[in-house]
Chains A and B, each alone.
Chain A
Amino acid sequence: MILVWALATMVVAAGLAPFLAARLGRATGYPLAAVFVAVLAMVMSQYREVVVDHETIEYVRPWIPVLRASFALRLDGLSLLFSIVVLGVGALIMLYCPRYLSAGSGHGRLFGILTFFAAAMLTLVLADDVVLLFVGWELTTLCSFLLVGGRGLAGAKPATRAFVITAGGGLALLAAVIMLSVVAGTTRLSEILQQTDVIAESPLYPWIGALTVVAALSKSAQLPLHFWLPDAMVAITPVSAYLHAATLVKGGVYVLLRFSPLYADRPLWHLVLMAVGLVTAVVGALFAMQQHDLKSILAYSTVSQLGWIIALVGVGTTAALAAAALHTFAHALFKATLFMLVGIIDREAGSRDIRELEGLWRVMPITATLTAFAALSMAGIPPFVGFVSKEEAYYAFLSTSDADWTPLGADWTGGLSAGIAVLAASLTFAYGFRILHGAFGGRIAQRGLYEPSAAFWLPAAVPAVAGLVLGLYPQVLNPLVTRTVVDTAFQVSEADLALWHGFTVALALSVLTIVIGGALFVRREQVEDLVLRVRLPFTGAQVFDRVYEGAIRFGADVGRPARSGATGAQLAWPLGALVLLAGVGLLWLRDPPPAPLPTTEAGDWALVALLAVAVAALAGVGNRLAALGLLGVVGLVVASVFLSLGAPDLALTQVLVEILTVVVAVLVLRRLPLRFRRVARPQQSAAAVLAVASGLTVGTATYLLTGRRERSEIADYLLVEAEEATGGTNVVNTVLVDFRGLDTLGEVAVLAVAGLGLLVLLAAPRERDPAPAGPIDTLADGAGVVFRIAGRVLGPVVVLLSVWLLLRGHDEPGGGFIAALVAGAGVAIMQLPRGPDAGPRLPARPLIAAGLGLAAVTGALGFLDGSYLRPLTGELPVLGLKLTSSLVFDVGVFLVVVGLVVAALDRLASGQVPVAAGDGDRR
């Protein structure tokens, strides 16, 4: 329970921080530090149970049962160790912030995210559920991004690199986590770690291991992914000290320590970690030698030190795990100190370049002393804790030979790894002294520098002194380290930390280290020249940016086809896809379709031939009006096909639609040049190929998949029951209005919106300019007389005809739609003679609204008989006409269609050509 409180406190504090900062400004650090200390106290209150009684504090409550993920926290030695680092260093950083930050407000974001980061880090190290652990992991990455990138121009790029690299590692971890939970059947970390044998049998076992390693190496900035860490140093010092030295980068170490039981007996696991770790330790140290900016030196030093720790994890013996735990602790102490002090120097002297800094020890003795403490600890000089941990490490590396996983007779492994370790340590010694000498040695150059006030250096002094004390009395750490080994190696081996172990091989190595390191420092000029010469031709950051930009350019190419504005180029894809699928499908058609029933009659072929001719002509013709005529022909042929197939309603509709389409098209075409634009040859042939292919596939599919079964039950039902059920004898019409009224309602809605679309798109002309010459105008004057009479006489007749069609529709071919089209034709006829620019007789919008509204409302009447659109029948007193709700429904249809026609005529017939069109079309 205490664990939840600890977490909750941090989260709440993070939430409140911005509001505090609004009041207190930079001083917000003090109350927050208090919070950190309080939470540390909460955790430490469990010290006794965990470390002395070897108990484990647990808290579990269900979180996502569906995924068997639980909100499980667990405090054991390992978690405790990391929690102490996270909270302890966090408190110091919070104390450090107020004096470091500029006065004034605006630090709310920083304090909020820093505190939230601590909470995330705490989640990571306390989680006993792999999902929760991953959440913590990702949140730390995110906080790092926000903290590094919040620094305006300079921050964005490095922040992005850091985010992408570590998030990539995060994905690896996610994959590992998912596989683990699937294989082990649980997401509880403690349970997973108990099932090594089960997991080891899964084929995913090696993948899990590899992905975990990748994740850890990216987070802990190991070669070749190390480059994001030095980049991230653009962040302000508190961030660098806290995230990028003490805690975040230790996340990888933590996960490796956690998961190492799973791979304890896998040589590859150990070898990879040792190899990467030792190489990074050496190379990182070399990079540190190349730097002149104190912060960069520290950054590469961190890379190197993390390599050192990971190599120890790789060794995997109890001694090694103990050393890793100890060094994690020691490194947090001295590296946080160094960063804070560098921050002080930066603030006071205004530079971090050791070539500019000179003899600061004269003006800042305290700062100098503290730096010395930390640097010596880092260099592994007694009596600092760094020395103790290095001794342990040497001992551990030597123990490689007799690790369980080491193949027999490979005794040289211990010597080799220890040798490389010595090299790394010597380099560390060298750049440790380089820092000291570079910043504080020599004669004072700058004037007017003073020791900063105690409030500034005190936060750094605490860990520096702690490093000394723990160096003198390392025994106090024994229980914690012992417990940590229990949690990571699953076996008890009492840690025996001491400043003086007597004359051991490790001691000899330490001496050797100091000798070599000393030599390197004394001959630093030559060494510097040497290391500067081995610089790589490119940096990881450059490679990253190269790849990033490459990806963007590649993306632009990938997206190019989609960016085409040519309809042909866009339509080719779906059509091609259809041909492909249908073609392949037809070839794969498993069961041969049943034999075709007799469907074709002699007369059909004539129509088909006619159709073919008309279509071919339409495809070929270049004159718009000719094309329009041919389109009409095709429509009429299709209509007669319908008729021949026993679909009079369809045929009638087709004819009327054709007429209206042609009318509309004429109105549009008069705005366009007479001839179609020419198209490039290759495009023509490509189009032809695709056209033929589509024709063949769809035709074949139609042949194979239709006309091979008896009439469907639904059809039989309709033919037999329709009259009985609806009182209508025109079954098609009854289907439209009685059985499937919803389709018809939808169809009406489509027409209604199409009409509205015309009103929107071709907004009513503001000032009426004379229309360009077109067929209609010529009608309007001269020959128009005939039409004027036609309009007066024929129009009304047609409208009456339409009403008659509307009424009979239920029993004979007709119905609301057909009637409306006829009426529309009537309106058109009445419109024609009055020329294009005379306003319409009928207002389109109300017609449409009323029609669709009426249809929808009529449908609701059906509820009287239990269902929407249920047709109702009732006698109408006047002239005994049978009134059905279907008829009213049809009236709605009628109104909408008329509205559409009116809208089309009104907007298209008017001479107004939208400005947008202007030149565009007359090219």
Chain B
Amino acid sequence: MSVAVAVAVLVAGGVYLVLQLGLVRVAFGFVLLGHAANLVLLASGGVGRRTAPLVGGATDEEIATTADPLPQAFALTAIVITFGITVYLLALVAAGADDDPSAEKSPAGEPDPARSEASAADETEGPS
């Protein structure tokens, strides 16, 4: 239950942030969504059993109450991957990809009225 609530909180916050202008906040939003995903993974193993899966000389009782290690491994991998992508996303910000539709251009370089006009509209419309 508590994990589900935590997930709900993180997802809500994350979604709110990714819908904002400014790629930095979008990136932050994805970090939150990543947290949520990892919590879902952990929850999927069943968080009733909470002994850390360090089985060095563990007794059967301990084993019985030990957490499911597989989703932990999943989450670990996921954290790392999300980290890698987040870093690149931030690098995009550094390179100047901050959310800025009004400066859009059509491929091959020439300004395209329809496009810029459309994207200008989005600046105010936002998510729809």
Contacts and interface: CB of A to CB of B under 8 A. Distances in A.
Note whether A and B contact each other (Cβ less than 8 A): yes
Contact of B99 (A566, A638, A647): A566
A761 B53 CA distance: 40
A706 B40 CA distance: 8
A436 interface: no
B32 A600 contact: no
A818 B99 CA distance: 33
Nearest 8 CB-CB pairings of A with B:
A699-B8, A917-B96, A683-B126, A695-B12, A572-B127, A565-B101, A604-B2, A729-B56
Contacts of B90: 664-665, 668, 908
B83 A661 contact: yes
A694 B12 contact: yes
Contact of A569 (B35, B74, B77, B125): B125
B2 to A, nearest CB: 4
Q: Is the interface of B mostly helix, strand, loop or mixed?
A: helix
Contacts of B84: 747, 750-751, 753-754, 900
A568 B11 contact: no
A635 B13 contact: no
Nearest to A605: B2
30 contacts: A565-B122, A566-B99, A566-B126, A568-B126, A569-B125, A571-B19, A571-B127, A600-B3, A607-B2, A646-B53, A647-B52, A661-B31, A664-B90, A668-B24, A668-B93, A680-B124, A698-B7, A702-B4, A702-B8, A703-B4, A712-B70, A714-B70, A715-B68, A731-B69, A735-B72, A736-B73, A751-B83, A762-B94, A817-B76, A900-B87
Given A611-B9, A747-B77, A676 B24 contact: yes
B73 A750 contact: no
Contacts of A757: 88, 91
A720 B73 contact: no
A695 B6 CA distance: 9
A8 to B, nearest CB: 46
Given A668-B24, A679-B126, A702 B46 contact: no
A758 B95 CA distance: 10
A600 B16 CA distance: 27
Contacts of A641: 3, 6, 39
B59 to A, nearest CB: 12
B126 A706 contact: no
B98 A920 contact: yes
A656 to B, nearest CB: 9
Contact of B73 (A735, A746, A920): A735
Contacts of A918: 96
A676 B20 contact: yes
Interface in B50-66: 50-57, 63, 66
Interface of B: 1-28, 31-32, 35-36, 38-40, 42-57, 63, 66-70, 72-77, 79-81, 83-88, 90-96, 98-101, 103-104, 114-115, 118-119, 121-128
Contact of B85 (A683, A691, A754): A754
Nearest to B102: A565
Contacts of A571: 18-19, 26, 127
B62 to A, nearest CB: 9
Most-contacted residue by chain A among B75, B87, B122 (CB, 10 A): B87
B16 A686 contact: no
Nearest to B73: A735
A560 B69 contact: no
Interface stretch (A95-103, A354-362, A613-621): A613-621
Nearest to A893: B80
Interface stretch (A176-184, A531-539, A591-599): A591-599
Given A556-B114, A761-B95, A618 B28 contact: yes
Interface in A714-761: 714-715, 718-720, 722-723, 729-732, 735-736, 740, 743-744, 746-747, 750-751, 753-754, 757-758, 761
A563 B11 contact: no
Interface residues of A, number: 125
B85 A750 contact: yes
A514 B47 CA distance: 99
A624 B100 CA distance: 17
Given A565-B119, A690-B15, A608 B6 contact: yes
B48 A921 contact: no
A466 interface: no
A34 B103 CA distance: 65
A735 to B, nearest CB: 4
Contacts of B45: 711-712, 715
Interface in A670-687: 671-672, 676-677, 679-680, 682-683, 686-687
Contacts of B122: 564-566, 569
Given A572-B19, A695-B12, A920 B103 contact: yes
A692 B11 CA distance: 8
Interface string A480-509: 000000000000000000000000000000
A720 B104 CA distance: 57
A218 to B, nearest CB: 33
Contacts, number: 382
Nearest to A912: B94
Contacts of B81: 747, 750-751
Contacts of A730: 53-54
Given A600-B1, A645-B47, A723-B56, 19 more contacts: A568-B18, A568-B99, A607-B6, A646-B50, A668-B93, A676-B25, A686-B127, A687-B126, A711-B68, A718-B69, A719-B69, A732-B76, A736-B77, A743-B73, A750-B84, A751-B81, A813-B54, A908-B90, A914-B96
A633 B75 CA distance: 19
Contacts of A598: 48
A615 B19 CA distance: 15
B84 to A, nearest CB: 4
Contacts of A722: 55, 69
B127 A568 contact: yes
Interface in A552-572: 556, 560-561, 563-569, 571-572
A884 B23 CA distance: 43
A331 interface: no
Contacts of A644: 50
A599 B3 contact: yes
A575 interface: yes
Nearest to B68: A715
Given A679-B126, A735-B70, A653 B80 contact: yes
A629 to B, nearest CB: 11
A707 B48 CA distance: 7
A683 B56 contact: no
Given A599-B47, A679-B126, A722-B55, A650 B5 contact: no
A418 B79 CA distance: 85
Contacts of B2: 599-601, 604-605, 607-608
A761 B91 CA distance: 8
Nearest to B98: A921
A908 B94 contact: yes
Nearest to B8: A699
B63 A762 contact: no
Most-contacted residue by chain B among A564, A649, A661, A740 (CB, 10 A): A564
Contact of B88 (A638, A692, A707, A754): A754
A624 B24 contact: yes
A641 B45 CA distance: 15
A9 B35 CA distance: 70
Contacts of A657: 79-80, 83
A709 B46 CA distance: 7
A653 B79 contact: yes
B101 A564 contact: yes
A371 interface: no
Given A646-B67, A668-B90, A695 B8 contact: yes
Contact of B127 (A635, A687, A720): A687
A619 B19 contact: no
Contact of A646 (B28, B52, B73): B52
Contacts of B92: 761
Contacts of B94: 667-668, 671, 762, 907-908, 913-914, 917
